[in-house]
Structures are given as C-alpha cells and as structure tokens.
Amino acid sequence: MKFIHTSDWHLGRQFHNVSLLDDQQAVLDQLIRYIESNPVDAVVVAGDIYDRSVPPTIAIELLNKVVKRICGELNTPMILISGNHDGAERLGFGSEQMKNAGLHIISNFEDMLTPVVIKTESAGQVAFYGMPYNDPEQVRFAYQEPVSTHDQAHKLLAEKITEQFQPEQRNVLVSHCFVDGAIESESERPLSIGGSDRVSHEHFLNFDYVALGHLHQPQKKGEEYIRYSGSLMKYSFGEQNQKKGFTLVEIDENGFVSAEHVDLTAPHEMRIIEGELEQVIEQGNTDPKNEDYLLVRLMDKHAILNPMEKLRAVYPNVLHLEKPGMLIGVEQEMAQAKLARSEIDMFRDFFSEAQDSQLSQEQDQAISDIIKQLSQQAL
Amino acid sequence: MKFIHTSDWHLGRQFHNVSLLDDQQAVLDQLIRYIESNPVDAVVVAGDIYDRSVPPTIAIELLNKVVKRICGELNTPMILISGNHDGAERLGFGSEQMKNAGLHIISNFEDMLTPVVIKTESAGQVAFYGMPYNDPEQVRFAYQEPVSTHDQAHKLLAEKITEQFQPEQRNVLVSHCFVDGAIESESERPLSIGGSDRVSHEHFLNFDYVALGHLHQPQKKGEEYIRYSGSLMKYSFGEQNQKKGFTLVEIDENGFVSAEHVDLTAPHEMRIIEGELEQVIEQGNTDPKNEDYLLVRLMDKHAILNPMEKLRAVYPNVLHLEKPGMLIGVEQEMAQAKLARSEIDMFRDFFSEAQDSQLSQEQDQAISDIIKQLSQQAL
C-alpha cells in the first residue's frame, strides 16, 4: 500500500505582502495530477493546513476544492491533523459528518484514539493515528497528569495511542512537533520560546511510520521511518535550496516501509540573487525564471537612485532589497567586525567587560572546548 | 411527514456585553429533547445560524455538538442555509463530505438547484430547496441578468428552482429574506438601507411550504404556508412579548400542509420593568424570575444615588437603565410632547413648516385616511 505524506500547506499565507494563494493552488494541482496518474491509498496532511487559526475565505475555498477533488472525485481518503497554526475547533467542525466521505480531520484527543484504518490487499490493515497539535498545558488539563514540556506531552500521547494498537494492524502516527536535533527553517513559528518545544524521537519507535509536520525542510530523524515531508512550497528566502514536495510512503506485504521524496514546483520560486546592479539587470534580461520571488543583495559600493524600480523592470517580483555593499567607513568596519566575531571572541569581550580582567589561558581553553561541544551537538 | 422549521439562531451573540451562549445551548437542548420524544423527518434552519461571518470558537463547538446529536445520534437530517449574518464560504466548508451523514449546508447557487429529497411513506417525496442568502449584486454576477433589487433577485432564484421541480415531489423552499409587509424586530440587521430589501411573497406561490428566516417574530405572510419561524430566542427587549420557539410543519398524504408554533424558553427572558425604584426593588424580592435580562425604566422624579447597584442587589442581570422620570422642566415637556405626537400631528407640523399654511379640512381627512390604511396593511 502507498500513501502520500505531506504537511505545512499554510494556505492563505502572505509573503512580503504578496498572497501566495495562486502558487499554493498550482502546487496542489500538481499533487492532484500526481494522484490521478499514480493512485495512492491515502493522503496524510500533518498539520498547519492553514496559516492562521482564522484563515481567509479564499484559503477555505481552496481547501474545499482540493478535498472535493481528492476525497470526492478520486475516492482517496484524506487524514488531516491540526497544527500550531490551525484553529483546531474551527478546522474540526463537522468532522464527524465527513468521515464516511473519506475526510478525516483529527483535531481533539477523543478522535486521536480512534485510528483511521485503511485496508489493502498488499499490506493488510494500516491504522493511521492522528495526534493533533497541543500545548503541554492542554495535555496536562485533558489527562490530569503532571505534564509541563512538549517532550512529556508527546511521551504521554504516544503511550495512550500505543494502548490502542491491534495485533493485526500496522501503525502510522501523524504528528505535528519539533523532533530534537532536526533542522529548522526561517518560516516556522516556534512552538514555545527557549528550546522547550523539543521532543525525543524515541517516543515514536513503536510505530511503523511517523508522518511529521512542523519543520519545513524534508528530513528523517532518528530512524528511516520517522520523517518530515517538509512544507508544500518555500516560505522564506532561506529555503531557496531546499527540496519541496511530498513524501511517498510504501508499506509492502512484509511490513517493510520505504519512503521517497517527490518534487513539487511552485510557479514562483523564492531565490536570493547577489551582485552589482548592472550585473543583476543584465542577468535578468535573459533569466527565464525572472518572475520568481526575489531577495536581491546589491554589492555596489556607491549610492544608487531608485534601485527597486530599476530591478523590477527586469525582475517584477523583487520583494526585498539588501545593500551590504553600501555600508561605508566606520559603519562598514563595525558590521564586518561583528560578522567576523566568533562565539569565543564575544565571550572574551563579555568577560573583560564584566570582570575587568582577561581570561586566563586555562579559562580560555575551557570555554573554547564547551563552545566546540555545543556546536557539534547542534549538527 | 413532519419537519421542524427554525431560523436565526445567532450562535455567539452578545447582548449588552453578556454572552448568550449558555442560554442558546439551553434552548437548543430543549429542541433536541423535543425531537427525542417527537421524532421528525428533518430539521430546517433558515439562516443566521451564527451571529457573525467569523463566529467565536465556542459558537462553532456548540453547533458541532447540536449537529452531532441531531444528525449523528438521532439520525435526523438537517438542512441549513447561510443567512446575512453567516459567512457562506466559511459555513460551507466540507458540505460535500457531510451530505451522506445527513448534514446539508447549502451556501452556494450550485447546491441551491439540487434539492435534499426526503422520502416518507405518508407524504411521498419532499424536495427541500435551500436558497442561501445573497445580495442582488451576487445574483447579478452569478447569472449575468439585470438584477438590482432583492425582489428581482428572489424572483429569478425562485424561477431557477421551479425549473427543477419533479412532478412526483412536494416542494419546500428555505430562504432568508424580508417578505414585504412582514413585521420587523429590533434585533435584525437590515439587508440593505432604505427599504429595497423587500421581497414579494408572490415569487413563492409555487411551493408547498416556504420556511423563512431573517425576521425574528414568528409570522405568516401572504399565505398560510409562507412562514417565519422567528428566532431561537429573544434578542432584544423589544421582543419581550414575542413567542419564541420553532414551527412544526406537517404534510399529510393528500399534500395538505399545516404548521404550528412550538414554544422554547430561554433560562433568562428579556423583559422591561417600569416603576419607581422602591416598587421595583420590592417586586424583585419575590420575583421568581429575578435573573432575567432586564431593562429597567425608573419613573422616579428625583435623583437617585447608584440606582444600578441597588437594582442589581435584587435583579442581578439588569443590563440597561432608563430614567424618563428624571427629565425635568422644558426637557421633560419636550420629551413628553414628542412621545405624544401621532403621525398625523407630525405631518401637520411638517406641512405648516413647509407650506407656511395649515392643512384644509379635506386635506387633513385625506392624510388621516392614508395613514390609517398604511398602518392596517402593516398588521
């Protein structure tokens, strides 16, 4: 059996005041065309379907169209969970009534414990458990257990789900969370401040596949079968080199799970272009993708009149302009000095200001070692 | 066959900064208990389900519970249309997927033309056509016809629906509009300014029953079978003497349609109490309904310290206070003079100001007759 794992659609998102809805629709059309030519047994969306808890009407209409096509016309069940951007109750209205039509919106703990079971000849019964996004406070309140971190919350919820396992079924978890050690992107909204949003992948080891949402870069974490599909499309310039699309998951008759990334391409990519104005304009004149959404970083060292206007004559969708080349004199030196300062330099500055003396050689070595350890852990 | 016709639930409404949600839930519980002991074949809600296009989450949760109970557990189909207070696209999400579970939300023209057909042994097939609320502009745009008033819009939409009639079916229309000559209440929001929102009941004569929403007073208009159920509960002090509840409609084997009003009572009624402070407080001490939502009209002629505080000691839910007794001197005389003036008095004033002469006796008689006619038509 095969299913599509996708997440972080963020329908209705704006980027530098530009609506991305047409791009989102185009990418979803590609997804639908893929299903038309390569039928699958289910489509899983691991949260952040909308960008806001009260999405704009046009985003609702787009989701409605997609659901009509996939569930209604292609007869492919969809399993959706709410993410931290979604309004769970709002998204969940009528979910009871939609189930028989193959649309499963899981937005509360009650529904979490009843899996969507898909029966196939090749892989038997596959149970999909949706764990809607919840703050630790909500989990503590619902289960009256001493839960104060995301990690504790996910441990508890995963245990509750595991209790429901049926021996004859394979088990897929759908969850929206930040697995510890995974790679962030600019366009995600932190689940909580200060790193307490991290969840160990070890809570998920009992499942046959874990379809994760929240992080926008496709990646696996901990095990081959614990994966982020990544977002539907790029949502920041920092994601210019990320692959975007969905994960195609296959479970064979022996229960062996494989997963591969399938590309989807937005009509407008998000890219960063660096160079002097003249070069950038020349390049733009022959750039077949000149309508992409761009951040242009102008390296010219002299002032330029109306650079945005000149750039938009060839690249109409320049959304942001940076001019690092135009920092002059002291400003430039300071900026460069700042860029050049490493963690150890900054700590030395801090120490000498706070203590009115320099680090001893031993102290300096100890701090250097700690910084090295920390940065290795982050990789 | 029997069905319930109700409308104007306005879930999520606030009244003088008090949330009415608990009252709305209590009244809907009564409705559900009625259905439990008196099964019906359908429940029709003729628009303004929510009070706002973006309803608060708690209102969505309440509707979800009601739907779960009526459609899911009592297996009674529900037919809902969007009203002028509802956000049609927002309310309509997933409607395609909900149909098979007996929840029919009709919020666009496409769905309008496909009736919900209920088959019963006693009355054969009854087709329910939902006409979602639309401005004339939306009708003009959708059908590319020269429509500029609500009346023209309803004429056109009713014609489009009539074309779908099947000879073996009875036809029920569900619509949210202002039928010309019907009685307004304070708590309705005008569909448009200046009276151009009125619709002739004659467009609806082809139907066997017309379940109307928008006006909050239960009433029939034009024909016995063209009816407003009125709102779920009172939404203004001006409605203190109105009956609230739903209309129970029955169609017998000969196609004969009868309708009767069934009362529902909110835990807090909305009432106006008039009197001097002392009297009102004395009455409050033994008033079994002292938690009602009240407008108190104090008739005392002298100033009173903290009247609200004194009143709320016995009537905790006094929401509004008027003190007509405390208008003094010229102000009082003017106010009383204004209150006392009838339409004919006001016309005489207007005429003498505009023409610099008095009405002749004949003119006076003619105007009196016209005013009398107009006020009789309104009844």
As a three-state string, the secondary structure of chain A is CEEEEEECCCECCEECCEECHHHHHHHHHHHHHHHHHCCCCEEEECCCCECCCCCCHHHHHHHHHHHHHHHHHCCCCEEEECCCCCCHHHHHCCHHHHHHHCEEEECCHHHHCCCEEEEECCCEEEEEEEECCCCHHHHHHHHCCCCCCHHHHHHHHHHHHHCCCCCCEEEEEEEECEECCCCCCCCCCCCCCCCCCEECHHHHCCCCEEEEECCCCCEEECEEEEEECCECCCCCHHHCCCCCEEEEEEECCCCCEEEEEEECCCCCCEEEEEECHHHHHHHHHCCCCCCCEEEEEECCCCCCCCHHHHHHHHCCCEEEEECHHHCCHHHHHHHHHHHHCCHHHHHHHHHHHHHCCCCCHHHHHHHHHHHHHHHHHHC
Contact A67 B103 (CB under 8 A): no
pLDDT digits (tens, 9 = 90+) for B317-360: 999 999 887 765 555 566 556 555 677 887 887 888 778 788 89
Over residues B21-37, mean pLDDT = 97
Q: Please tell me the predicted confidence (pLDDT) of residue B196.
A: 82
Over residues B76-90, mean pLDDT = 94
Work out the percent of chain B whose per-residue pLDDT is above 90. Answer: 75
pLDDT digits (tens, 9 = 90+) for A286-319: 999 999 999 999 998 887 888 999 999 999 999 9
Give the list of residues 6+ apart from residue A302 with CB closer than 8 angstroms, or none: A326
Contact A100 B101 (CB under 8 A): yes
- Which residues does chain B have within 8 Å of residue A90's beta carbon, measured at their own beta carbons? 57, 60
Q: Please tell me the predicted confidence (pLDDT) of residue A356.
A: 77
CB–CB contacts below 8 A, A to B: 71
Over residues B64-68, mean pLDDT = 95
Q: Please tell me the predicted confidence (pLDDT) of residue B19.
A: 95
Q: Please tell me the predicted confidence (pLDDT) of residue B158.
A: 97
Q: How many CA atoms lie within 13 A of A222 on its CB side?
A: 21
Label residue A353 by pLDDT band (50, 70, 90): confident
Decide if A371 touches B, using CB distance below 8 A. no
Q: Please tell me the predicted confidence (pLDDT) of residue A224.
A: 94
Q: Please tell me the predicted confidence (pLDDT) of residue B340.
A: 58
Contact B57 A93 (CB under 8 A): no
Does the pLDDT of residue A195 top 80, yes or no? Answer: no
Contact A57 B90 (CB under 8 A): yes
CA distance B93 to chain A (A): 6
Decide if B99 touches A, using CB distance below 8 A. yes
Of the residues A49, A97, A106, the best mutation for testing chain B's interface (the one with the most B CB atoms within 10 Å of its CB) is A97
d(CA A144, CA B313): 38
Does the pLDDT of residue A151 top 70, yes or no? Answer: yes
- Which residues does chain A have within 8 Å of residue B103's beta carbon, measured at their own beta carbons? 94, 97
Q: Please tell me the predicted confidence (pLDDT) of residue B347.
A: 84
Of the residues B93, B95, B108, B111, the best mutation for testing chain A's interface (the one with the most A CB atoms within 10 Å of its CB) is B93
Decide if A349 touches B, using CB distance below 8 A. no
Does the pLDDT of residue A83 top 60, yes or no? Answer: yes
Q: Please tell me the predicted confidence (pLDDT) of residue B331.
A: 58
CA distances from A336 to A238, A295, A297, A326, A352 (A): 21, 21, 16, 12, 21
Contact A96 B54 (CB under 8 A): no
Q: Around Cβ B303, how many Cβ atoms within 10 Å?
A: 9
Q: Please tell me the predicted confidence (pLDDT) of residue B354.
A: 77
- CA R_g for chain B: 24
pLDDT digits (tens, 9 = 90+) for B252-267: 988 899 999 999 999 9
Give the list of residues 6+ apart from residue A374 with CB closer than 8 angstroms, or none: none
Label residue A378 by pLDDT band (50, 70, 90): low
Decide if B198 touches A, using CB distance below 8 A. no
ipTM score of complex: 0.76
Q: Please tell me the predicted confidence (pLDDT) of residue B324.
A: 84
Does the pLDDT of residue B374 top 80, yes or no? Answer: no
Q: Please tell me the predicted confidence (pLDDT) of residue A56.
A: 93
Work out the percent of chain B whose per-residue pLDDT is above 70. Answer: 94
Work out the percent of chain A whose per-residue pLDDT is above 70. Answer: 94
Structure tokens at A169: 């079924």
pLDDT digits (tens, 9 = 90+) for A173-183: 999 999 999 99
Of A55-64, A259-268, B193-202, give the lowest mean pLDDT range.
Answer: B193-202
pLDDT digits (tens, 9 = 90+) for B87-119: 989 999 989 889 989 999 999 999 999 999 999
- Which residues does chain A have within 8 Å of residue B67's beta carbon, measured at their own beta carbons? 94, 96-97
> Cα B254 to chain center, whole Å?
31
CA distance A76 to chain B (A): 13
Does the pLDDT of residue B139 top 90, yes or no? Answer: yes
Q: Please tell me the predicted confidence (pLDDT) of residue A186.
A: 87
Residue B63: closest C-alpha in chain A: A93
Q: Please tell me the predicted confidence (pLDDT) of residue B194.
A: 64
Q: Please tell me the predicted confidence (pLDDT) of residue B69.
A: 95
- Which residues does chain B have within 8 Å of residue A72's beta carbon, measured at their own beta carbons? 96-97
Q: Please tell me the predicted confidence (pLDDT) of residue B171.
A: 97
Residue B70: closest C-alpha in chain A: A97
Does the pLDDT of residue B366 top 80, yes or no? Answer: yes
Contact B101 A99 (CB under 8 A): yes
Does the pLDDT of residue B204 top 60, yes or no? Answer: yes
A 301-320 → B contacts, CB under 8 A: none
Work out the percent of chain A whose per-residue pLDDT is above 90. Answer: 75
Strand B103-106 to A116-120 pairing:
unpaired
pLDDT digits (tens, 9 = 90+) for A329-352: 555 556 556 555 677 887 887 888
Using DSSP's 3-state secondary structure scheme, residue B94 falls into coil
Decide if A108 touches B, using CB distance below 8 A. no
Q: Please tell me the predicted confidence (pLDDT) of residue B236.
A: 94
Does the pLDDT of residue A265 top 90, yes or no? Answer: yes
- Which residues does chain A have within 8 Å of residue B73's beta carbon, measured at their own beta carbons? none
Contact A63 B100 (CB under 8 A): no
Give B181 or B340, the one with higher predicted confidence. B181
Contact A96 B68 (CB under 8 A): yes
Name the strand (E) or helix (H) holding B377: helix B361-377
Give B364 or A378, the one with higher predicted confidence. B364
Mean pLDDT for chain B overall: 91
Residue B56: closest C-alpha in chain A: A90
Over residues A212-216, mean pLDDT = 96
Does the pLDDT of residue B302 top 90, yes or no? Answer: no
Q: Please tell me the predicted confidence (pLDDT) of residue B123.
A: 86
